[in-house]
Amino acid sequence: MLARLRRVPFAAQVLLGLVLGIALGFVAREIGPVADGTPNWLTSTLQTVGSTFVTLLKVLVPPLVVTAVVVSIANLKQVSNAARLAGQTLLWFAITALIAVAIGIGLGLLTEPGRNSSVDAAAQDVPETTGSWWDFLTGLVPSNILGLQGSAGADGSIGLSFNVLQLIVLSVAIGVAVLKVGEPAEPFLALTRSALAIVQKVLWWVILLAPLGTVGLIGNAVATYGWESLGSLGVFAGAVYAGLALVLFVVYPVLLRLHGLSPLRYFAGAWPAIQLAFVSRSSIGTLPVTERVTEQNLGVPRSYASFAVPLGATTKMDGCAAIYPALAAIFVAQFFGVDLGITDYLLIALVSVVGSAATAGVTGAVVMLTLTLSTLGLPLAGVGLLLAVDPILDMGRTAVNVAGQALVPTIVAKREGILDVERYASTSTIDPLARAEETAGVDTDLRQPQHA
């Protein structure tokens, strides 16, 4: 049975899970909550299945990030342009974010979502978690070697989470130290490489559950939120998805064409990660698939992709940190009758380009939105007006985030002459669900010349 299932393409399996999840979600919504208002058994089951899948992915991300970044930096020891690669990556992160935020501002001015909304003003609510530049700067300094953070729950329990940006800072420091120490660090490097191989194997066992996780995640979203909430915020939601579509299907293809790359081949290679991001609503949870398709379908060298993709998963968010906060800030300003000037729009662009890293380690786009609103001096209570449709919007935002996280390493690799163009152009893409041993060891050396 399992062998037969593996013959079905990964995209088809996730698509089947998507359809089944929507159907079960509508069934659960029709059943309705039980007498005391708690979710019915089907909604609870869907929620448990979906959250368990994302938790399994997230729990394995810290060891993946640490080992992958350390090994990738160590692999750059014989590459003369390592610093240039890092600089080019950050530059293209900023360029694409600037384009995305410009689209968001343009759509906000065109559609005027704050003036074309019937949302109830009583929905104003200041969120519990907000973003600030100070939190971002202090968040760069790890409080412990594991990058762990604790938070108290309403019931008195203590929950632990990891800060991915801190993990990357630690990993980069360790990787550079390995390069400086040289030969005495070889045993540690060998151990880290072995740990990376083991973590990747476990991750692909979890990825095998992606179709089942899709059923739970989409089913729970439909059962819990439905589509009724879109009514009062239809113009805003439509503008957000229009902006996401413009970036994903217009801006990205144009950038690829300008670099001599086929947009169709890009989407064929990156689509499994984009699709999983849409249903999981987690760039971090999608990280293993994003990294795999970037390396093996798009032809980006593993030594570079294993650094650029995890970095992008925390700081490259064209959906959550560019289009959405720009449109949402304009919505809040229009709703409260605040006129924005050219300086305010420039501030929105600046926050979107520079401040997306402030959301690292925090789930959702709410932190980025509050950072934008506080910078502009707009009321944070306006965040509550948009929370009703946030889960529906978050699916599209995350898909665009992940698409950008695969796009930038591809463009940079092409510009630097290290992209395996033959692999990129190949019509036979590698199924991310394939067994790890079928594609183990496939790599592209950063030092090899670009294929003609």
Tens place of pLDDT per residue across the chain (452 aa): 555 656 677 667 878 888 898 899 888 888 877 777 688 888 889 989 988 887 887 788 788 878 888 887 787 665 557 778 888 998 999 999 999 999 999 999 998 888 877 665 555 555 555 555 566 666 667 777 666 666 665 556 565 666 666 777 888 889 889 988 888 989 999 999 899 889 878 877 887 788 888 888 888 877 876 655 556 678 888 999 999 999 999 999 999 999 999 999 999 999 989 988 887 777 877 888 898 899 999 999 987 887 888 878 777 888 888 898 899 999 988 888 888 889 989 988 888 877 666 555 444 567 777 778 888 888 887 787 787 778 788 889 999 999 999 999 999 999 999 999 999 988 666 666 554 444 444 444 444 444 43
**Six-digit token pair at 333?**
């300003």
Q: Which pLDDT value is given to residue 31?
A: 83
Q: Which pLDDT value is given to residue 225?
A: 66
Q: Which pLDDT value is given to residue 361?
A: 41
Q: Which pLDDT value is given to residue 274?
A: 92
Please tell me the distance from the alpha carbon of residue 238 to that of residue 42, in angstroms, as a whole number. 30
Q: Which pLDDT value is given to residue 120?
A: 59
What is the identity of the amino acid at 240? Answer: V
DSSP of 1-61: -HHHHHTS-HHHHHHHHHHHHHHHHHHHHHH---TTS---HHHHHHHHHHHHHHHHHHHHH
> Phi, psi (5° rounding) for residue 156?
90, -5
Q: Which pLDDT value is given to residue 63?
A: 86
Enumerate the H helices of 262-389 as residue ranges.
263-280, 283-296, 302-315, 324-335, 342-354, 366-376
User: Coil, helix or strand for 317?
Assistant: coil
> Phi, psi (5° rounding) for residue 160?
-110, 140
**Six-digit token pair at 154?**
């309403």
Q: Which pLDDT value is given to residue 139?
A: 64
Please tell me the distance from the alpha carbon of residue 424 to that of residue 297, in angstroms, as a whole number. 6
Q: Which pLDDT value is given to residue 443?
A: 44
Based on its alpha-carbon atoms, the radius of gyration of the chain, rounded to whole angstroms, reads 22
What is the identity of the amino acid at 426? Answer: S
Q: Which pLDDT value is given to residue 357?
A: 61
Q: Which pLDDT value is given to residue 407?
A: 96
Q: Which pLDDT value is given to residue 376?
A: 84
pTM: 0.80
**Six-digit token pair at 343?**
């300086």
